[in-house]
Structure 1
Amino acid sequence: MRAVITGGTSGIGLSVALTLGKEGYDIIITGIDKENADNALSELKENNINAEFIYANSMEEDDVNQAFDQIAKQYDSIDVLVNNVGGLGGRQKFDGMETSFMRRVMALNFDSAFFASRAAIPLLKKGTNPSIINYSTIAVTSGGGPGAGIYAAGKAAIEGLTRALAKELAEFGIRVNAVSPGTIDTAFHSATSRDVMETWKSGIVMKRFGDPSEVATVVEFLTSTKASFLTGEIIQVNGGQAFI
Structure 2
Amino acid sequence: MSKLDKKVAIVTGATGGIGFEVAKKLGQDGFIVILNGLNDKEGKDKTETLLNEGINAFYYGFDVTNEEAVNTNIKAIGEKFGRIDVLVNNAGGLGGRSRFEEMTTEFYKAVMALNLDSVFYASRAAIPYLKKGENACIINYTSIAGWNAGGPGAGIYGTSKAGVHAITRALAKDLAEYNIRVNAVSPGTIDTPFHTQIKSTKPEVFASWKNNILLGRLGQPEEVATVVSFLASDNASFLTAETIQIGGGQGLGI
- Identify the TM-score tier after normalising by the shorter chain: over 0.9
2:244 pairs, out of 231, 235, 243, with: 235
> What is the aligned-residue RMSD (CA, Å)?
1.0
- Structure 2 residue 77 is the aligned partner of structure 1 residue 45: no
TM-score when scaled to structure 2? 0.94
One-letter code aligned to 1:101: F
Q: What amino acid is aligned across from residue 119 of structure 1 in structure 2? A: A
What code does the residue aligned with 1:160 have?
Answer: A
* Unmatched 5+ stretches in structure 1: none
Answering whether residue 77 of structure 2 is matched by residue 87 of structure 1, we say no
- Given candidates 138, 144, 169, the residue that maps to 2:144 is 138
Shift in Å, 1:225: 1.0
The equivalent residue for 1:220 is: 229
What's the TM-score once normalised by structure 1's chain length? 0.98
Aligned to 2:170: 164
Identity of aligned residues (%): 52
Deviation at 1:239, TM superposition (A): 0.4
The counterpart of 1:24, out of the listed 23, 30, 51, is 30
Could you tell me which residue of structure 2 aligns to residue 205 of structure 1?
214
SS of residue paired to 2:91 = coil
| Post-superposition CA distance 1:34-92 (Å, at most 9, x none) | 12202211221121000001111000001101101211331210100000110000000
Q: CA deviation at 1:138?
A: 1.1
Letter in 1 for 2:209: W
User: Partners in 2 of 1:178 and 1:242 — Cα distance?
Assistant: 19
In structure 2, distance between residues paired with 1:233 and 1:73: 30
In the alignment, does 2:126 pair up with 1:120?
yes
Runs of 4+ in 1 over 6 A off after TM superposition: none
C-alpha contact (below 8 Å) 2:8/2:81 kept by paired residues: no
In 2, Cα distance between equivalents of 1:72 and 1:212: 28
Rounded to whole Å, the distance in 2 between the matches of 1:87 and 1:192 is 15
**What SS class does the counterpart of residue 243 from structure 1 fall into?**
coil
